[in-house]
Every structure is written in structure tokens, then in C-alpha cells.
Structure 1
Amino acid sequence: MASANAIWTRMKAARLTGPRKILWAADDDLRAAGLSRQKIRYARALAEARIDYNALRSAPDAEVIATLVQVPGIGQWTAEIYAMFSLGRADVFAHGDLALQEAARLLFDLPARPKEKEMRQLAEAWSPWRSVAARILWAYYRVAKDREGIR
């Protein structure tokens, strides 16, 4: 998170914060701000996607996620996290999140960390509040890892 904040600070200082500016910027300028070649490619793909973020606010969860995962560099987890935190969706769950999986293993005393499919089945019971359940599991994970000395 600290490195992302540092990159964002450098991007703002270089005035490289809008889609047009990303598309028009030289690779060297973007690299100077801290973006790797791959991140430059992903940033440009996102800028070229011309996503209507206002429309996403009222779109169904599945449509939000489907729209975002079409952009190179944005996977299922990123799209789900965006829906949960940026759009405030109440019924989205990041089934592939390792911290959620580990929290479920600890909380439910499972022999192994549940895979994505198992997490999907487990989370069904929490609908329509799966995002709330995720936040509770993340909080539980933080407490559990501190207790167990996990870093």
C-alpha cells in the first residue's frame, strides 16, 4: 500500500492523473513516476477502455464486474474489491481473497484453507450481505494473525 501511495503521489506531482494524460504521456515520464512497463500497459488499457464510472454506480454487480474484467490488468479480485469499496456494494464477495480464505479456515476450524469454489458456497449463506461478511472476516483475520504472530 505504501508503494501505491508513493506512485500516486508522484503521478499527481507529474500531473499524470487523467486518462488523456496517461495516453499522451511518454513511457519515460510514467516510469519516472514509478510505473513498471506492465503497469504502464495496464494504465493505458484502462484509459482506453473509457469506462463510464457514473453508469457503474447503478449497474448490477455482475455487470460492474464483467465491465471491469474486460480491461487488461483487472482481474476478478480487483473488480470485486472495486465494487465493494469504491461502489459500496453490500453483496459482493472476493472468493479468491487469501485472507478471507484463511479467516474462514481459522473461524470454522477447517483442515485446510477453502478454495475459491468452497468460499463461494460458504458465502452464499451470507447473501445479501456478503460484503459485510467479508469485512468481518478481514477483521477476524487481522486479530487472528496478530494472535498467532503471523506477519
Structure 2
Amino acid sequence: MPRIQEQVRDAERHLAAVDPVMAGVIAEHGPCGLAGTRRDPFHTLCSSIISQQLSSRAADTIQTRVMAALGALKRLEPAQLAQATHEQLRSCGLSNAKAKWLKHLGDAAAGGTLDFVALKKLDDETAIEVLDALPGIGRWTAEMFLMFALLRLDLFAMDDVGLRRGVNMLYNKGKPLSDARTLKITRKWAPYRTVASWYLWRVADPVNEIWV
């Protein structure tokens, strides 16, 4: 069994031991599938920019156009974005801002300003700060990136609507909890808050899974 899968199994056991509510959720939804979600870092960031404020269908359509226009077969590469023109990206249906952000991301990754090897070596908060400084990449996107591209296991995105909904449903009968109360609940899940988040998304919306 790959190491990440072993860590996720350890996480399930830990969460069940420290939180009876989470134990019930794990029993209901089964093993966490996080270990199978690792994604190419650069392509993941490109997808996150393209999909902002769009439906899944619209985002998929535009991303397909971008990949076709740049000759990308399976995923977008830094050099392809670095060589693309603003007009070329706009013609795929991207907004002016998104075209600029993608171009900047391609330039940064191709030129080495954004080094994914170095990024993987940073602690969570420092990595989030590096990504948050990029145009078009906010804290939430950075947190999702660390969760699903780098498979960091101890993150809880306070601004994620689905996660907050899941916590509210499990611990307050669906009524909104304060940030302080939410933080108190989630701290007990450390060092496996990402795995707990995977389950919270399923509680919040078991049909339409976001990201995972």
C-alpha cells in the first residue's frame, strides 16, 4: 500500500477515535478517497483560475478550448501558457482578467519564479502565502491546491461554504456556527483536518462532489 494511503487509513482511525460524530460519518461513507486525487500542480492551478465564478460545464468547455488552442494533450504545461498570446487566450472564452492571470502563471512557472519542487518543501502556511501572492489565486484556491495537488493532510478551509455547511449539519443541526466555535470543533481533528474535510463535503452535498 502506498504511503499516502497508509496515512489516510491512519487518519480515519484517528478521527474516529477522537470524535464520535466523525466516527459515524466515516462508518456511513466508507474509506476516504483522497489518496487517489493527486493532480498535476500547474494544471490544477490553471483549472482553478478558469473555473472561477463559472458552472462546471462552462469551465470544462473553456478549458477544452484552451487546451486545443495551445496543443495540450492531457494537461496544460507552463511553456504553452508562456508562449500563448493574450488574444489567443481571450478567443477561447476567457475574460480579460483570467487571460492575464493564466499568462502570468505560465510565465512564472516557465521562468522558475513559481517553483513547484520548492513549493512542496514549504510548510502549509508559507506555501499558501506564496500562492496567494499570484494574480488570480486567493487563499481558498491555495488551500484546495495544497489539499488535492500536494495532498497535505492537515488543512481546513474556513471560507469554504461546503465545509462550513457540513460542520453546521453535524454539530449544530444545520444552524450557522461562529468561526470560534467552528475552529474549536476542527482543532480536535489535527493532524488530519484534510481527511475530515473530505467527509464534511460528503455530508454537505453527497450528490455533487466539489473538487473530490
* Secondary structure, counterpart of 1:91 in structure 2: coil
Residue pair 1:96, 1:116 contacting (<8 A) in 2 also: no
Q: Tell me which of the two structures has the higher relative contact order, counting C-alpha pairs closer than 8 angstroms and 6 or more residues apart.
A: 2
* Secondary structure, counterpart of 2:158 in structure 1: coil
* Secondary structure, counterpart of 1:106 in structure 2: helix
- For residues 164 and 136 of structure 2, the distance between their equivalents in structure 1, rounded to whole angstroms, comes to 23
User: Could you state the TM-score of these two structures normalised by the residue count of structure 2?
Assistant: 0.61
Moved more, 9-18 or 133-142: 9-18
User: Could you state the TM-score of these two structures normalised by the residue count of structure 1?
Assistant: 0.83
Q: What residue in structure 1 maps to residue 91 of structure 2?
A: 32
* Secondary structure, counterpart of 1:14 in structure 2: helix
The one of 171, 176, 179 equivalent to 1:108 is 171
- For residues 96 and 130 of structure 2, the distance between their equivalents in structure 1, rounded to whole angstroms, comes to 24
Structure 1 residues 41, 115: closer, same or farther in 2, change over 3 A?
Answer: farther
Q: What residue in structure 2 maps to residue 12 of structure 1?
A: 67
Q: What residue in structure 2 maps to residue 149 of structure 1?
A: none
Residue pair 2:70, 2:84 contacting (<8 A) in 1 also: no
**1:43-63 CA deviation, whole Å, 9 max, x = no partner?**
123234331112222221112
Q: What residue in structure 1 maps to residue 155 of structure 2?
A: 92
Structure 1 residues 116, 26: closer, same or farther in 2, change over 3 A?
Answer: farther
Paired residues in the alignment total 145
- AA of the residue aligned to 1:11: V
- AA of the residue aligned to 2:138: G
Q: CA RMSD in A?
A: 2.2
The alpha carbon displacement at 1:20 in A equals: 4.1
Q: What residue in structure 1 maps to residue 187 of structure 2?
A: 124
* Secondary structure, counterpart of 1:8 in structure 2: helix
Moved more, 64-73 or 115-124: 115-124
Residue pair 1:42, 1:73 contacting (<8 A) in 2 also: yes
1:141 equivalenced with 2:204 (yes/no):
yes
The alpha carbon displacement at 1:114 in A equals: 3.0
Residue pair 1:103, 1:141 contacting (<8 A) in 2 also: yes
What is the percent sequence identity of the aligned residues?
32
- AA of the residue aligned to 1:128: P
**1:110-131 CA deviation, whole Å, 9 max, x = no partner?**
5732355543333211110000
- AA of the residue aligned to 1:18: E
Q: What residue in structure 1 maps to residue 100 of structure 2?
A: 41
Structure 1 residues 33, 111: closer, same or farther in 2, change over 3 A?
Answer: closer
**1:2-60 CA deviation, whole Å, 9 max, x = no partner?**
22222221111111633344344332211121211111122123234331112222221
